[in-house]
């Protein structure tokens, strides 16, 4: 089959690789019909997440048709399914309390060494996300093997086309959990850093949860425009002092909740960020947390801090004092995708959530490297790229 492979920092290519096979009775094989490029893939593309190997197949947002099932799979051939990016067994302690992204059984023991050292505990398995999370082949391919297919995938009805349901795999539940982690109350003013797909879905979710005011922060005019269309007020951080503006917009008290939908590759020319960019380039001090630091200073005393943005290693000059002295609540994590699938699918079906507005480009799988390049370098207009393995490559 054909698959998009990681070959080195900012080097990806579509190669012919062996077809996946059933290796466990609970597996299923999916023929991919749609798969998206995520902001998390950019961290791999940029080489800032360790434990990638040349030839690894990327992609953790995918859906398709079941073409083969192991004897213990509950799926049936021909069903259309969306696959959560988190690989979860359904039976361990964490899965049973719906903390699916903390599954203890999905990352093979021999692969766990690095995350256990870094985090104190090994990470769960994630599709296409380095050998720290199990080294699973991802879904930016013609086919994928899905372990624990009796737990993760959700069967979607035929009348909903791929574009409406694909984002159940990651960014839609991620935006939802980000808003849930901000514990939004009806009078709350919520500020969201980053108007990429995750930020936009967090904005949409915060409004659905009844936030009185949502303020979106980014520097790309088109992405800020999408945030305004959802009902947010906006701040361009290149033109405006973010903290000052937020103080003004919150009656001088600070915003009630902040959501960092930027993660470890924060843009901008704040002094700390410029120093962090240099350190990240040479591999000392991994994470650029400029947006998060700004959020911690902008949130009010007793405020709520939600961090869907991905961080991988260590962060320098983290304002822990602000967290303590202001009595902040901090919640974060890889999304427990399986927890949200049924409810969010129902919201898509009844029309209360639209997921398609942020798709800017649909490309054949063969053009995935172009998709990565533009999603990285032209973020303003390339808001979300969906790859279609069945689509013919353009001449």
Ligand X SMILES: NC(=O)c1ccc[n+]([C@@H]2O[C@H](COP(=O)([O-])OP(=O)(O)OC[C@H]3O[C@@H](n4cnc5c(N)ncnc54)[C@H](O)[C@@H]3O)[C@@H](O)[C@H]2O)c1
Helix, strand, or coil here: 4?
Answer: strand
Nearer to Zn ion, 254 or 263 (CB): 263
Q: Which of residues 153-192 bind ligand X (CB under 6 A)?
A: 170-171, 174
35 binds, among ligand X, Zn ion, none (CB under 5 to 8 A by kind): none
Name residue, tokens 């630091």: 293
String of contacts with ligand X for each residue 83-122, x by CB under 6 A: ----------------------------------------
The answer to whether 196 and 383 are in contact (CB under 8 A) is: yes
Stretch that binds ligand X, among 149-157, 194-202, 346-354, 355-363 (CB under 6 A): 194-202
Nearer to ligand X, 26 or 223 (CB): 223
- Choosing from 73, 79, 205, 379, the residue that interacts with ligand X (CB under 6 A) is 379
2 token code pair: 């054909």
Closest CA to 291 of 315, 312, 313: 315
Residue 83 is classified by DSSP as E
Nearer to Zn ion, 70 or 152 (CB): 152
Regarding 40 and contact with ligand X (CB under 6 A), the answer is yes
Count the neighbouring beta carbons within 10 Å of the beta carbon of residue 50: 15
Residue nearest to Zn ion (CB): 38
Nearer to Zn ion, 87 or 245 (CB): 87
Name residue, tokens 């410029």: 274
Q: What angle do CA 65, 27, 366 make, to 5 degrees?
A: 45
- Choosing from 20, 59, 199, 389, the residue that interacts with ligand X (CB under 6 A) is 199
Closest CA to 260 of 198, 306, 328: 306
Residue 59 is classified by DSSP as -
Stretch that binds ligand X, among 4-12, 149-157, 196-204, 365-373 (CB under 6 A): 196-204
Closest CA to 387 of 139, 155, 51: 139
Closest CA to 177 of 99, 66, 292, 263: 99
Stretch that binds ligand X, among 1-9, 130-138, 142-150, 219-227 (CB under 6 A): 219-227
241 token code pair: 């002092």
199 binds, among ligand X, Zn ion, none (CB under 5 to 8 A by kind): ligand X
| Cβ at position 61, least distance to ligand X in Å | 8
- For Zn ion, the binding residues (CB under 5 A) are 38, 40, 88-89, 92, 95, 103, 105, 170
In the chain, how long is the greatest CA-to-CA distance? 61
**Phi/psi of residue 150, each to 5°?**
-85, -5
197 binds, among Zn ion, ligand X, none (CB under 5 to 8 A by kind): ligand X
| Cβ at position 111, least distance to ligand X in Å | 19
Q: Mind giving me the DSSP string for 108-132?
A: -GGG-HHHHHHHSSPPPEEBTS-TT
d(CA 170, CA 341): 10
341 binds, among Zn ion, ligand X, none (CB under 5 to 8 A by kind): none
Name residue, tokens 């425009």: 225
Q: Which of residues 266-295 bind ligand X (CB under 6 A)?
A: 266-268, 290-291
103 binds, among ligand X, Zn ion, none (CB under 5 to 8 A by kind): Zn ion
The answer to whether 168 and 152 are in contact (CB under 8 A) is: no
Nearer to ligand X, 67 or 357 (CB): 357
Stretch that binds ligand X, among 182-190, 306-314, 321-329, 344-352 (CB under 6 A): 306-314
103 token code pair: 């599954």
Q: Which of residues 121-150 bind ligand X (CB under 6 A)?
A: none
Q: Which of residues 310-339 bind ligand X (CB under 6 A)?
A: 310, 334-335
| Cβ at position 1, least distance to ligand X in Å | 25
**Torsion angle defined by CA atoms of residues 269, 265, 175 and 112, in that order, rounded to the nearest 10 degrees:** -160
- Choosing from 26, 111, 145, 223, the residue that interacts with ligand X (CB under 6 A) is 223
Nearer to ligand X, 261 or 328 (CB): 261
Burial label for 22, CB within 10 Å (0-12, 13-18, 19+), is middle
Q: Which residues here bind ligand X, judged by CB under 6 A?
A: 38-40, 42-43, 170-171, 174, 193-199, 217-220, 223, 237, 261-263, 266-268, 290-291, 308-310, 334-335, 379
């Amino acid at each position: 089959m054909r698959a998009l492979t990681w070959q080195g920092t900012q080097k990806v290519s579509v190669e012919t690789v062996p077809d996946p096979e059933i290796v466990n009775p609970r597996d299923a094989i999916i023929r991919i019909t749609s798969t998206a490029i995520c902001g998390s893939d950019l961290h791999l593309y940029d080489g800032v997440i360790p434990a990638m190997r040349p030839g690894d197949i990327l992609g953790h947002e995918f859906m398709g048709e079941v073409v083969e099932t192991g004897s213990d799979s509950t799926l049936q051939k021909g069903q259309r399914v969306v696959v959560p990016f988190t690989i979860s067994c359904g039976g361990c302690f964490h899965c049973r309390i719906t903390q699916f992204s903390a599954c203890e059984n999905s990352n093979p023991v021999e692969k766990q060494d690095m995350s256990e050292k870094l985090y104190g505990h090994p990470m769960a398995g994630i599709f296409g996300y380095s050998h720290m999370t199990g080294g699973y082949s991802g879904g930016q391919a013609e086919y994928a093997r899905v372990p624990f297919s009796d737990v993760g995938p959700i069967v979607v009805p035929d009348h909903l086309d791929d574009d409406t349901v694909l984002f159940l795999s990651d960014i839609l539940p991620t935006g939802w959990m980000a808003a849930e982690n901000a514990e939004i109350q009806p009078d709350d003013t919520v500020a969201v850093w980053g108007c990429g797909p995750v930020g936009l879905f967090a904005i949409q979710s915060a409004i659905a949860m009844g936030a009185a005011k949502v303020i979106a922060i980014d520097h790309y005019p088109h992405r800020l425009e999408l945030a305004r269309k959802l009902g947010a007020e906006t701040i361009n951080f290149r033109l405006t002092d973010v903290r000052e503006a937020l103080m003004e917009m919150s009656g001088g008290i600070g915003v009630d909740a902040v959501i960092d939908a930027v993660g470890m590759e924060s843009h901008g020319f704040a002094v700390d960020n410029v120093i962090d960019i240099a350190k990240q380039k040479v591999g000392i001090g991994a994470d650029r947390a400029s947006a998060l630091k700004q959020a911690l200073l902008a949130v009010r005393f007793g405020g709520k801090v939600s961090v869907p943005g991905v961080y991988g290693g260590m962060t320098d000059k983290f304002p822990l004092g602000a967290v303590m002295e202001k009595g902040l609540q901090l919640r974060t994590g890889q999304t427990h995708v399986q927890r949200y699938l049924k409810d969010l699918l129902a919201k898509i079906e009844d029309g209360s959530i639209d997921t398609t507005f942020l798709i800017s480009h649909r490309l054949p799988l063969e053009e995935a490297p172009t998709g990565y390049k533009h999603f990285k370098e032209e973020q303003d207009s390339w808001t979300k790229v969906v790859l279609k393995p069945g689509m013919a490559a353009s001449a």
